[in-house]
Structure 1
């Protein structure tokens, strides 16, 4: 209910601000354009790292379509340093999605002139499209995930009922701009930082044990069982633990459960790397075992093989989309009887299944 009132207030404000009942006239104006050439574009991607990486194919397509345009990327503060040297945008502005920070956001946008086009790939409504219209953008494209008439009336174009991968959703949204969206390379994610090629003498397998919610975390005991099997069968292999600072407790549990004879072959990197450093570390891996996480998307972008574990998340929407030969999705079913058998829903994926897939991937790389 609170969200509805926010949308209603924004709707009333925009009617006064624009002196119009809605933004639908922009659709007619867009279709009437003989040449859809835009010189100043703002792109919103202000949520999680995984969201941003899945937005990179669309951002790259926009850059390729409008090579001479000045493109401003509006992102989350946490990713500013990671994105600073990206080649698909000319300027970065950070925004926390809060209404009280809109004046500063508009000030920063206007420093580069009034935008012709706003593309909202992933952000929080209603303040994203509010700020886009207040910036003076003539056309506003937004990826909507739910039908909402109070949002739709203020958009030039939107997607809200697409069943498929998130990457393809974004490409469908920008297709009317004349962007190339059909070639195989169009769906490839990109990291904004260049990474160095790595030469290794032994196998490095990464474990991303944390996730956005506990129900998406494969239990630590299962990671320990996989690690023990791999380290026992290959005395040169190393396990690399990666993750955010709030995942350190998972690393501590892992080390407590793992036999001490293997401790020297564990790289404990959870909470110790910046995003730039994390990207370099993932690039060194031969394989990453992970849930539906930001690091999974980094690995995919870097063409590092992954084994991704999905039970409550939906792989057809957020799992690997490019290079299917490099990535194995293990999908577990949610069923009432599973709750009787397993203490955690992710336990429906067995360590033996993961070990088998690891062995297959490593064998195929030889």
Structure 2
């Protein structure tokens, strides 16, 4: 089990200390209580993080903004280029990338800020509770309304803030900024969704049929496995191989597909495997599966956004905060459970 590297721990500690210091010398000026939806035509969502999951956690907010403001154009400023992932959502206009390397290239950073300021945003949103970098970038972009959360010891330049919600789930946190809008309170879907198109789903089914055979699509239960995860969340390949082989030994009509990370290796030559470079193509393939089994990892949230049934094996993190959100998704906490108990729970879900 890989532990979080020291440089990551130190960076988080320094960031926390710096935020606390800056909060003592910078005062946030709150100018508005509510946002008039009629005044909003251009929106910029700022989330300077490079992880797949955190990008996908924005999709409930994007869908909610589409419902509240159907004619508004939404741009996103993210910590990695996720254009192929969420750029095809109907109300997403453009995705900008400001990764960590940009800090070392001030001329490119200033050029990006200049381009953003030409867009004439009516509203910028920093929807993370502890991202000082996103809040600082928000200060650099002109907008009438600058929306974020009210959080202690996190530097904030917003002129309208909302309280943190009671929800513990990280994916539902961004959705809470909708409380800032005046007028009728609408009901928003609390699910991840990248709005796959019919042609994308058809392509995913075609790739799956080529991999396992057309005849197996309807007669078998097709299960995708993804074994990779970050740090303590990773489950050993030895465990995965035993888990898969024992599920096959139950005699149920299961076919497993080992979905491999671009730099990974297959768990066994006896199990079909596939890898994708493009995240949206991966999501299209996931949509064709009957089930997707994984640890707590970004592709888990991608499968959820593709509306695939998920069985998530959690061994370190909290399902309440990071578990899959689909109506049919299930979490198995493998801590303090032997393999037979995990298998029995898995089979009951697969055969339900």
Counterpart for residue 329 of structure 2: 327
Q: Structure 1 residues 60, 8: closer, same or farther in 2, change over 3 A?
A: same
Mapped partners of 1:318, 1:202: distance in 2: 30
**Helix, strand or coil: the match of 2:116?**
helix
Counterpart for residue 362 of structure 1: 350
Contact 1:46-1:123 at 8 Å conserved across structures: no
Give the helix-richer structure, 1 or 2: 1
- How many residues were matched structurally? 320
Contact 1:147-1:160 at 8 Å conserved across structures: no
Gaps of 5+ in 1: 16-20, 256-262, 334-347
Contact 1:310-1:330 at 8 Å conserved across structures: yes
Mapped partners of 2:127, 2:69: distance in 1: 17
- Tell me the CA shift for residue 141 of structure 1: 2.0
What is the CA RMSD across the aligned residues, in angstroms?
A: 3.1
Gaps of 5+ in 2: 1-12, 206-216
**Helix, strand or coil: the match of 2:54?**
helix
- Counterparts in 2 of 1:1-366, with a 5 A limit? 2-3=14-15, 7=19, 22-27=27-32, 30-31=33-34, 37-47=39-49, 48-97=51-100, 98-99=102-103, 100=106, 101-111=108-118, 113-122=119-128, 125-143=131-149, 147-148=152-153, 151-152=155-156, 154-160=158-164, 162-178=166-182, 183=187, 186-194=189-197, 195-196=200-201, 198=205, 199-213=217-231, 215-234=232-251, 237-246=254-263, 248-249=264-265, 251=266, 254-255=267-268, 263-264=269-270, 266-270=271-275, 272-323=276-327, 326-333=328-335, 348-364=336-352
Q: RCO higher in 1 or 2 (8 Å CA, sep ≥ 6)?
A: 2
Q: Structure 1 residues 236, 161: closer, same or farther in 2, change over 3 A?
A: closer
Q: Structure 1 residues 2, 217: closer, same or farther in 2, change over 3 A?
A: closer
Contact 1:46-1:74 at 8 Å conserved across structures: yes
